[in-house]
Amino acid sequence: MAKFSSIKQHIYQKIESGEWPENHPVSSENALAQQFSVSRMTARRALQELADEGLVIRTQGSGTFVAPIKSQTSFMAIRNIADEIRSRGNDYRAKVHHLRVQDASSQVAEALALAPGSTVLHSTITHYENDVPVQLEERYVNPELVPDYLKQDFTKVTPHEYLCVVTPLTEASHQIEAIMPITSVCQFLSVDRHEPCLRIIRRTWSSGGVVSYALLTHPGSRFKLGGHLNFAGSSSQVV
């Protein structure tokens, strides 16, 4: 695990265990650099990424503090969509639309930390709950880290499950945005072009680098954003 990722995991655990409640001061860059035997720049990167994720608040001159719970993302622990659907007692299935090799756009190349024009692996899958489409997953994967990605049967195992096995994930980042769907998204999700959708943009890392870049689109009328943070000492995995 990269050293800055180790710092982030350390702070995640402090927050999740309840040892650091909301508004609790977080160790300074200097203290973290000394504790983990890294440069101050590395410690700064870890704290800045946590701030970008909404878990801490950084104030110049005052320091870094655990963000109020109402401001924290509930995505510290994210479940596999197949498990989530089945846990509600509903039927899950997936339909694979595309599995292909393609040249990366500048946006995808940047997201995967690859050179422009590099080859990537691309999958497009719709996930269904009781035969109703609830998520369109468009995922781009680094072929150097997951060379057999396109050989998998994603109707039997989700990309999430497969990647967690072959490239144990060490880190993830998320962005959430509201969008109006384009024609292809309307077709895959069986929605009208006037229905707002919620899109989660997710990047995942392993020890070897950026593994995947995924666009997860949900119909606004069939998706509820929420979660529960447990501060009783249990562990979680971000995937």
Residues 6+ apart with CB under 8 A from 1: 9, 170, 207
Q: How far apart, in whole angstroms, are the C-alpha atoms of residue 62 and residue 88?
A: 44
- Unique residue bearing structure tokens 């001061």: 25
**pLDDT recorded at residue 239:** 37
How high is the pLDDT of residue 77? 52
- Is residue 78 within 8 Å of 238, Cβ to Cβ? yes
Q: Distance (Å, rounded) from C-alpha 135 to C-alpha 159?
A: 13
Written as one letter, the residue type at 16 is: E
Nearest to 22 by CA among 61, 76, 70: 70
Using the 8-state DSSP alphabet, how is residue 69 labeled?
G
CB atoms within 10 A of CB 73: 14
Contact 161, 94 (CB under 8 A): no
Per-residue pLDDT of the chain (239 residues; tens, 9 = 90+): 578 888 988 998 888 777 898 889 999 999 999 999 999 999 998 898 888 777 888 887 889 998 875 444 444 455 688 888 887 788 999 999 999 999 999 999 999 999 988 999 999 999 999 999 999 999 999 999 999 999 999 999 999 989 988 988 777 888 888 999 999 999 999 999 999 999 999 999 888 889 999 999 999 887 766 544 444 444 344 33
CA 28 – CA 62 distance, rounded (Å): 10
Which 3 state secondary structure label does DSSP give 212? Answer: strand
CA distance 218 to 126: 10
Residue 229: what pLDDT?
45
Confidence at residue 53, expressed as pLDDT on a 0 to 100 scale: 72
* CA-to-CA dists, residue 40 to 28, 67, 161, 170, angstroms: 10, 22, 35, 21
User: For residue 132, what is the enclosing H or E element?
Assistant: strand 132-141
Domains along the chain with CATH numbers? 3-71 (1.10.10.10), 81-222 (3.40.1410.10)
What's the pLDDT score for residue 70? Answer: 47
pLDDT of residue 225: 61
> Residue 75 has what pLDDT?
46
Quote the pLDDT of residue 207.
81
Cα separation, 133 vs 110, in Å, equals: 30
Q: Half-sphere exposure of residue 73, counting CA atoms within 13 Å on the CB side?
A: 20
